Structure 1
Amino acid sequence: MKLKLILLVFLIFVACYKFAGRDVNFDVQPHRFDSCTQPANISELSWAITKPGVTSVAVYVTKVGEPETLWSSGPLIRTLKTGAWVSDGLTFVLRDQNNNFLARRTVDTTRCVGAEFGE
């Protein structure tokens, strides 16, 4: 039990240190893929929210012209991996418990070098 508590305190410290000085921190890695690897891309999302009044968050996914779809919700500090469904133009939107916008990150792809030459 003590080891779990120590580990939890350490993880909170690391998250707070990584995101020190900002009240909304939202990261998607990788956020850029080589188009040669399409469509099986996996990203890791991490966030740490210290904004006053925010008690929980929700992550939505969307593409241009499509409505937002709830993907995950939960605590103010978290890291999650997606499945192999991340593709060019996919946007992750972070909202608070009242559906207020907190942050947005969009995934994009780079050109598949060599593909235009038949490699």
Structure 2
Amino acid sequence: MAARWMGVAALVLLAAGCSQQEQVALDLQPAQVSECDLPVSVQVTWNVLLPGVEAVELHVNNPGRRPMLWTQTAAFGSQHTDAWAADGFTVTLRTLEGRELARRTLTTTACADAAL
């Protein structure tokens, strides 16, 4: 009987279009900046709605640097970096066991002043 209900629950989730991607959110604001403004502070926001995941790790790195643990915290939240994010700055959201859930990278546009 329990197996039957599990199957029904799985069908309901599939019909609703639920997937891991929809249950994990990671956002950088800004996600894109001008090269003129580097380095910048970035607002990082995350929300993980996966069964059994109550806490997460956020790892950060700029190109040419090793990724490092930035924070270990609740499965949802928001936090600012200091002004050390550069082009290619990457935030990786992981479970406490190390499974990658999401990754976002800051990109830049050309500096308008450089064209003059």
Runs of 4+ in 1 over 4 A off after TM superposition: none
Of the two, which has the highest radius of gyration?
2
Q: What pairs with 1:28-107 in structure 2 (closer than 5 Å)?
A: 28-39=28-39, 41-64=40-63, 66-107=65-106
Identify if the C-alpha distance between structure 1 residues 83 and 65 changes in structure 2 by more than 3 Å, giving closer, same or farther: closer
Amino acid at match of 1:34: S
Matched, 1:115 2:114: yes
With 47-56 and 79-88 compared, the bigger mean Cα shift is at: 47-56
Matched residue type, 1:52: P
Under a length normalisation based on structure 2, what TM-score does the superposition of the two structures give?
0.76
Aligned to 2:23: 23
Distance (Å, rounded) in 1 between the aligned partners of 2:86 and 2:65? 14
TM-score (structure 1 length as normaliser): 0.74
Is the Cα–Cα contact under 8 Å of residues 62 and 85 in structure 2 kept in the other structure? no
What's the offset of the Cα at 1:64? Answer: 4.3
Structure 1: stretches of 5+ with no match in the other structure: 1-20
Distance in 2, Cα, partners of 1:28 & 1:102: 15
* 1:55 Cα deviation after fit: 2.0
Count of paired positions: 96
Q: Percent identity?
A: 33
- Structure 2: gaps (5+ residues): 1-20
> Does structure 1 retain, via aligned residues, the 8 Å contact 2:62–2:86?
no
Residue range with higher mean Cα deviation, 83-92 or 56-65: 56-65
Which whole-Å deviations, capped at 9, do the CAs of 1:47-102 have from their partners, x for residues lacking one? Answer: 11111121210100124454320011100110101101111011100001111100
